């Protein structure tokens, strides 16, 4: 069994490299297809053609696109993600400084999605058709429909500006001041988790209803097992794979959704980093951030795959 899981992990890991190359190549091409010459921008006002050509040569923009990409890829493979064209900061340093803030709010939003979504999903499924089910599914629909930036601003208005309970902006490092870091992360995480909670509730409810109506559950009821035991021991185990799938997708979606929430809360995370870099055509930073994000997404998927095989031995290599 263990060997099977290791083989699965290795096979998935081998897929990392082509996916990484494809993702960074697409972003690289997109950046270069957008009109505008970064050398002209970097040369500043009053720049002569010669000066612009110098800048173009200095940064290698005069090389064919394939050469530029391969050069970047070769350096990235050695851990050198280059430097920002704008501020000269090392891209690796920027990512290491910005990723923790994003991971903290995404992690906290995931925890909230599970902690609130799972009980509500179970409650709705076990009270199918009743008022509790109606209330929970209505709330879930609302959660899906609410734009998280709107919710974020409402939360800031109430909890930060009126009640002064939590900070309105910024972030703190978890390693330096855990209490402050968590206080800063609560409101963004709540704003992010509204959609996540709704997603977990809806998916878990429908998966549970499907299992609850299956023949083996009917048999368990016929055998006289108490409903609580059937739910916790047999039914929930069968929806574990569905829940894992939802959580995997949710994590990847939340990573992308932080862009807006980070802007509302002025969190110096990956979202704000990539937005500012994309606006400024700071190619190395955009490439580096995409590289890091794709890597995290792939590793998450890998982890989910391995967990699948642990939950359901039928998952094949």
Question: Would you say 127 or 159 has its CB closer to other proteins?
Answer: 159
Question: Would you say 152 or 231 has its CB closer to other proteins?
Answer: 152
Q: Among 2, 3, 33, 164, indicate the residue that binds other proteins (CB under 8 A).
A: 164
Q: What's the 3-state SS for the chain? A: CHHHHHHHHHHHHHCHHHHHHHHHHHHHHHHHHCCCCHHHHHHCCCCCHHHHHHHHHHHCCCCCHHHHHHHHHHHHHCCCCCECCCCCCEHHHHHHHHHHHHHHHHHHHHHHHHHHHHHHHHHHHHCCCCHHHHHHHHHHHHHHHCCHHHHHHHHHHHHHHHCCCCCCCCCCCCCCCHHHHHHHHHHHHHHHHHHHHHHHHHHHHHHHHHHHCCHHHHHHHHCCCCHHHHHHHHHHHHCHHHHHHHHHHHHHHHHHHHHHHHHHHCCCCHHHHHHHHHHCCCHHHHHHHHHHHHHHHHHHHHHHHHHHHHHCCCCCC
Encoded one letter per residue, x for contact with other proteins by CB under 8 A and - for no contact, window 1-30 reads: ------------------------------
Nearest distance in Å: CB 175, other proteins: 15
Nearest distance in Å: CB 287, other proteins: 15
Which residues on neighbouring strands pair with residue 83, listed in sequence order?
90
Nearest distance in Å: CB 60, other proteins: 16
Nearest distance in Å: CB 285, other proteins: 8
Question: Would you say 9 or 153 has its CB closer to other proteins?
Answer: 153
Q: How many residues bind other proteins (CB under 8 A)?
A: 50
Q: Among 9, 21, 32, 41, indicate the residue that binds other proteins (CB under 8 A).
A: 41
Does 173 interact with other proteins (rule: CB under 8 A)?
A: no
Contacts of 257 (CB under 8 A, 6+ apart): 148, 192, 195
Does 276 interact with other proteins (rule: CB under 8 A)?
A: yes
Q: Among 124, 244, 273, 292, indicate the residue that binds other proteins (CB under 8 A).
A: 273
Question: Would you say 43 or 250 has its CB closer to other proteins?
Answer: 43
Asked if residues 173 and 251 have their Cβ atoms less than 8 Å apart, the reply is no
Does 264 interact with other proteins (rule: CB under 8 A)?
A: yes
Q: Among 2, 33, 222, 279, indicate the residue that binds other proteins (CB under 8 A).
A: 279
Nearest distance in Å: CB 168, other proteins: 4
Kindly indicate which of the ranges 42-50, 106-114, 207-215, 301-309 contains the residues binding other proteins, using the contact rule CB under 8 A: 42-50
Given the rule CB under 8 A, which residues bind other proteins?
34-38, 40-47, 49, 51-52, 54-55, 84, 86-89, 94, 97-98, 156, 160-161, 164-170, 180, 183, 263-266, 268, 272-273, 275-276, 279-281
């Amino acid at each position: 069994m263990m060997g099977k899981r290791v083989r699965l992990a290795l096979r998935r890991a081998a897929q990392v490299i082509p996916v990484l190359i494809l993702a960074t190549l697409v972003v690289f091409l997109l950046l270069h297809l957008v009109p505008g010459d970064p050398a002209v921008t970097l040369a500043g006002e009053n720049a002569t053609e010669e000066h612009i050509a110098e800048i173009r040569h200095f940064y290698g923009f005069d090389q064919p696109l394939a050469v530029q990409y391969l050069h970047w890829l070769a350096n990235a493979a050695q851990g050198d993600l280059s430097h920002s064209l704008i501020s000269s900061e090392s891209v690796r340093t920027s990512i290491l400084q910005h990723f923790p803030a994003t991971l903290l709010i995404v992690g906290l939003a995931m925890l909230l999605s599970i902690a609130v979504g799972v009980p509500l999903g179970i409650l709705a499924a076990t009270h199918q058709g009743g008022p509790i089910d109606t209330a929970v599914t209505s709330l879930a629909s609302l959660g899906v429909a609410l734009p998280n930036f709107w919710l974020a601003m409402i939360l800031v208005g109430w909890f930060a500006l009126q009640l002064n309970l939590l900070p309105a902006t910024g972030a703190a490092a978890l390693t330096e001041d855990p209490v402050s870091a968590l206080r800063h992360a609560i409101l963004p995480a709540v704003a992010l988790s509204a959609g996540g909670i709704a997603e977990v509730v809806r998916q878990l409810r429908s998966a549970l209803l499907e299992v609850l109506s299956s023949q083996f559950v009917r048999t368990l009821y016929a055998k006289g097992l108490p409903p609580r035991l059937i739910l916790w021991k047999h039914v929930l185990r069968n929806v574990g794979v569905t829940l894992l799938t939802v959580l995997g997708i949710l994590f990847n979606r939340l990573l992308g959704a932080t862009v807006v929430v980070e802007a509302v809360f002025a969190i110096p995370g990956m979202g704000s980093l990539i937005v500012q870099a994309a606006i400024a055509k700071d190619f190395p930073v955009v490439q580096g951030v995409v590289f890091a994000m794709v890597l995290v997404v792939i590793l998450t998927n890998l982890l989910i795959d391995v967990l699948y095989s642990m939950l359901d031995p039928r998952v094949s290599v």
